[in-house]
Amino acid sequence: GQNIDQPTEMTATEGAIVQINCTYQTSGFNGLFWYQQHAGEAPTFLSYNVLDGLEEKGRFSSFLSRSKGYSYLLLKELQMKDSASYLCAVLDSNYQLIWGAGTKLIIKP
Partner 1 sequence: TAGITQAPTSQILAAGRSMTLRCTQDMRHNAMYWYRQDLGLGLRLIHYSNTAGTTGKGEVPDGYSVSRANTDDFPLTLASAVPSQTSVYFCASSDSPGGTDGSGANVLTFGAGSRLTVL
Q: Is 31 in the site for partner 1 (CB under 8 A)?
A: yes
37 vs 103: CA distance, rounded Å: 10
Q: How far is CA 80 from the centre of its chain?
A: 18
Q: How far apart are CB 43 and partner 1 at their closest, in Å?
A: 5
60 vs 71: CA distance, rounded Å: 13
Interacting positions 64-93 with partner 1 (CB under 8 A):
87, 89, 91
> Are the C-beta atoms of 73 and 60 separated by less than 8 Å?
yes
Q: Is 60 in the site for partner 1 (CB under 8 A)?
A: no
Residues that bind partner 1 (CB under 8 A): 4, 8, 30-31, 33, 35, 40-45, 48, 50, 87, 89, 91, 94-102
